[in-house]
Amino acid sequence: MSSAEILQLVITGLTVGSIYALVGLGFNLIFNATDVINFAQGEFVVLGGILTAVAVGTTGLPLWLAIAVAIALVAALGALIDFAAISRVRRGSVMTLAMITLGLAVIVKTSLLLWVGPDPLYFDPFTPGPPLRIFGAVLQLQAIWVIGIGVLVMVALKFFFSHSRVGREMLACAIDREAAQLMGINVGATVRLSFILSGALGALAGVLITPLTNATYDQGFTLALKGFAACALGGFGRASSAILGGFALGLIEAASVAVLPSGLKDSVALSVLILALMIRPSGLLGGREERRHTQAM
C-alpha cells in the first residue's frame, strides 16, 4: 500500500472515529448516571442531521442557526425522555428502562420515515470549496471540521467534569449514586442533565457528519452499536476511554476497507465489539467496569 493510501485511510479513520467517539461519550454519560443502555442514542445523531437538513432545505435558515436549533431540539428531546419515561419507572429494573429506550428508538425511526421518507438527506458542508490534497490523499474540508470540533468538544467535556461543580457531581453519581445522594447531590437533576448532554452530543455528531455521508432515517441503530463498541474498546469507566475507543474503532474500520470487500465494513466494527467484550472487557484503558456494588442489574 502506498503512503498516500495509508494517509487516506488515517484521514477517513479519524473522521468517522470522531463521530463514534461523540456517540460513545453520549452513551457513557447516560450509562454512568443511570446504568441504562440508551438504545436511542443513535437516533439522536440521525435526528441532528435530519432536523438540520430540513431546517436548511425548507425554511431556508442560515446554516449555523439551523444547527443550533437542531441540537437544542434533540437536547430537549433527551430531557423529555427522562421526564416522561425514565424517571417515572419506579418498579422495574434497568432492563425495563433499556427496553423503553428501545421502544423510543423505534418511534423515532418510524416517525422520521413517515416525515422525510426513506431517502438520504444532505446539507452543504460548513465551508464550501474543493478538498485539500495532502501528499496524494484527499482531505475534505468538512472532515477538518469533524475532527476539529470533535476534539474541541471532548476537551471541553474533560474540563467540565474535572473543574466544574456540576461536572464533578455527575462524576460522583457515576461512582456511587447512593453516596452521592447522601452527600446532598440532586441525583434526579443529574440524570436529567446527562440525558440533555447526551442528546446534544449525539445531535452534534449528526450535524458534523451529514455533509459527508448523509442522514437517513434508519442509520440510528448501527450507529448506536458502534458508539457502544467505542465504549467497549476503550473501557466503560472514564469519558476519555470512549474517546480513545472511538478513534481506534474508526481507524480499524477504515483499515478493513483496504483488505476486505466494503460490504463487510460494518461487520468489522461489530466484531471488534464482540471480541473486545469477550477478551478484554475492561477495555484498552481498563475502565472501572465493576464500579457499582448495589444491584447486579
Partner 1 sequence: MRQIHVLMVLILAWLLAPLMIHTGGTFNLFIFAFINLILVLGLSLLFGYAGQISLGQAGFYGIGAYMAAIFTVRSGLPPLVGLVAAIIVPAALGYVIGRPVLRLRGYYLAMVTAALGLILHTVFVEWVDMTGGYSGITGIPALTIGPLSARSPVTMYYLSGAIGFIVMLLALRLVDTAYGRAMRTMRESEMAARSCGIPTARLKAEVFALSAGLSGLAGALYAQYVGFVSPESFTIDTSINLLLALAVGGVGSLWGAAFGAFLLTFMPEWFHQLQNAYGLVLGALVVVMLTLEPRGFWGILLRLRDALAGRRAKTA
Partner 2 sequence: MGGLPRWSAGWFAVGMMVNLGFAHAQEPIKLGVSEPLSGPASSLGIPVVESIKSAAEFINGNGGIDGRPIELVIRDDQSRADVAVQNFRRLAEEGVYGVIGPNQGSNALAVAPVLLETKVPMCGFQNTISITKLGNPYIFRCQTSDTDNTRAALKFASEKLGAKNVAVLYTGDAYGTEAFAALEVEAREMNIPIVAAEKINYGASDTTAEWTKVLGAQPEAIVLWGSGSTMSVALRNGSQLGNTAPIIGAQGVAAAAIIKSAGAAAEGIYMVTLNAPDQVTPEQQELSRIYKERNGEDYTLTIYDIIGWDAVHIYAEAIRQAAGEKEKVTEGLEKIQGLKLAGGSYTYTPESHEGLGADSVWIVQVKDGAMVGVQRGF
Name the residues that contact partner 1, by CB under 8 A. 35, 37, 84-85, 88-89, 91-96, 98-100, 102-107, 109-111, 113-114, 221-222, 225, 228-229, 232, 261, 263-264, 266-267, 270-271, 273-274, 277-279, 281, 289-290, 296-297
- Contacts (CB under 8 A) with partner 2, residues 234-273: 257, 261-263, 265
Distance of closest approach, residue 177 Cβ to partner 2, in angstroms:
38
Q: What is the DSSP string of 32-70?
A: HHHS---TTHHHHHHHHHHHHHHIIIII---HHHHHHHH
The answer to the question of residue 12 lying near partner 2 (CB under 8 A) is yes
The answer to the question of residue 219 lying near partner 2 (CB under 8 A) is yes
> What are the residues whose beta carbons fall under 8 Å from the beta carbon of 178, sequence distance 6 or more?
294
Helix 187-213, helix 141-163: angle, nearest 10: 170
Distance of closest approach, residue 103 Cβ to partner 2, in angstroms:
20
Distance of closest approach, residue 139 Cβ to partner 1, in angstroms:
29
Distance of closest approach, residue 33 Cβ to partner 2, in angstroms:
31
The answer to the question of residue 18 lying near partner 2 (CB under 8 A) is no
Distance separating alpha carbons of residues 220 and 235, to the nearest angstrom: 22
- Cα three-residue angle 138-23-177, rounded to 5 degrees: 155
Q: What is the grid cell recorded at 86?
A: 425514565
The answer to the question of residue 126 lying near partner 2 (CB under 8 A) is no
